[in-house]
Structure 1
Amino acid sequence: MLHGCATDKQAGRYPQEVETPHYGKPYNRKDWPHWIDTDGDCQNTRQELLIASSTIPVKFKDSRHCTVISGKWFGVYTGKIFTKASDVDIDHIVPLAHAHRHGASDWTKKQRTEFANDFENLLVVSDKINQAKSDKAPHEWLPPRKAYWCEYGKRWEYIKHKYKLIYTKQEETALNALAKTCR
């Protein structure tokens, strides 16, 4: 269990529901090391995810194979296909700032790095959609493509449980509504 996370006490399906999140120390994106090269092959987390998510072999900037420039990615939030790496962002399903406000503000650098680079919390999406989502929770933002709502809710809930992050009542209401789209 990560230090500083919600307790295992259950309130409904969700750990430690609160009316408003606890902010702790202020969020600073620089405190969340992301896009790191964990295996020393010159490909950071972004590049590794672009390679893994492309439905065709990717093309690289040069012979070192460090930077992906093209591939074929399906944007699950919009249903659109992207072929240029410069047209996509990597979305944290549960955003870093949201995690910070919901139980992760006292995590160690190692814990923040793990969360920021966790493939289970990352998706290739359009840069415009990622910017529109920002650090919003499901009660504040949903993917435009309704066919993905069920999966989005499941993945959000999975990550929040995995890292024992705190839920708000508004999140619970939104997640319950998303669960109904799964039927």
Structure 2
Amino acid sequence: MAGAVALVAVLAVGLALGRSLATSTAPTPAPGTALAALATLDVGAEDPFDGYVRESFAWREDVDRNGCDTRNDVLRRDLTELDIREGTNDCKVDSGVLADPYTGARIDFEIGAGPSSDGGIQIDHVVALADAWVTGAQSWSEDTMVQFGNDPLNLLAVDGPTNQAKGSGDASEWLPPSTAYRCAYVARQIAVKDAYDLRVTPSEHDAMAEVLAACPDEPLPTRAATQTPRGLP
């Protein structure tokens, strides 16, 4: 019996040592990567959903005062082959082509065409407004809420039905059907949460880490790289 106990003890020490060595030899994420930023985010439970009002984020407000609402700013940034309506200060997008990041499909956009007035394209808050509300936004000022609701860093033109399927899910609940875009998508969510000091839940953190394990050098998106057009001066 004593020999068996000793053997168990030796095995336990060996396993612990193996875990310690694995931890100590794990590569440190490179600066500027999404994986490095993920390690800095606070991890915690969600706040109660009470008090959420979507309108508080003033989505589509012309926050940059360029004479164009946020939806059209994002359409002009993300679509190609644009047809801009005359007399709208280079603002109103009537048609264009979207290479949809979420599905990988081509969408020929025409305002008002198809079963919905959005022409099949919606603007997604990559970190959903409702998700932000339960991970730190409840303490924000009105100005910060409006900024978040219209921040180009957090906005993408995407396929409408796919965006509806996402709802307010975080990375543990929804990822883009196009697996080729998942690294960039998670990196974008991390950039937004980092910029606004939002938490991630434990399950969200683990889902993000699992995606980034396949692309540890995925860069963290920047505001400079995601800005929308400013229109005419």
5 Å-filtered alignment, 1:82-97, equals 82-84=107-109, 85=111, 86-97=119-130
Partner of 1:150: 183
Residue among 6, 14, 17 paired with 2:43: 17
Q: Give the superposed CA RMSD.
A: 1.8
Distance in 1 (alpha carbons) for counterparts of 2:66 and 2:190? 32
**Letter of the structure 2 residue corresponding to residue 38 of structure 1:** V
Partner Cα distance (1:41, 1:112) in 2: 19
**Structure 1 residue corresponding to 2:56, chosen from 12, 31, 55:** 31
Q: Deviations over 1:82-108 (max 9, x none)?
A: 222421000010011100110001211
Give the Cα separation in 1 of the matches to 2:42 and 2:66: 40
Letter in 2 for 1:98: D
- 1:52 CA displacement: 1.5
> Which AA in structure 2 matches 1:54?
L
Deviations 1:133-179 (A, max 9, x none): 01100000000000001111111111111111011100111011110
Q: Is 1:63 paired with 2:96?
A: no
Q: TM-score, normalised by structure 1?
A: 0.86
Distance 1:24 1:128 in 2: 25
Could you say what secondary structure the match of 1:76 adopts? coil
Secondary structure, counterpart of 1:124 in structure 2? strand
| TM-score normalized by the length of structure 2 | 0.68
Q: Percent identity?
A: 31
Structure having the larger proportion of residues in helix: 2
Matches within 5 A, 1:41-56: 41-56=66-81
Quick check: 1:166 aligned with 2:199?
yes
Q: Check whether the contact 1:23–1:105 (CA below 8 A) recurs between aligned residues.
A: no
1-side partners of 2:77 and 2:213: how far apart? Answer: 30
C-alpha distance in structure 1 between counterparts of 2:75 and 2:190, whole Å: 24
Confirm or deny: 8 A CA contact 1:149 1:181 kept in the other structure: no
Secondary structure in 2 matching 1:63 = coil
Gaps of 5+ in 2: 1-37, 112-118, 217-233
| CA distance in 1: counterparts of 2:198 and 2:184, whole angstroms | 19
Q: Does the 8 A contact of 2:172 with 2:204 survive in 1?
A: yes
Which residues of 2 match residues 57-136 of structure 1 at below 5 A? 57-60=82-85, 63-64=87-88, 65-84=90-109, 85=111, 86-136=119-169
Contact 1:24/1:106 (8 A) holds in 2:
no
Aligned to 2:22: none
Computing the radius of gyration from Cα coordinates, the structure with the larger value is 2
Structure 1, unaligned runs of 5 or more: 1-11
After superposition, the C-alpha distances for 1:30-53 in whole angstroms (9 at most, x for unaligned) are: 111110123545420000110121
Distance 1:163 1:39 in 2: 18
Tell me how many residue pairs correspond in the alignment: 170
Asked if 2 retains the 8 angstrom alpha-carbon contact of 1:23 and 1:102, the reply is no
Once the 2 structures are TM-superposed, how far is the Cα of residue 17 of structure 1 from its aligned partner? 1.2
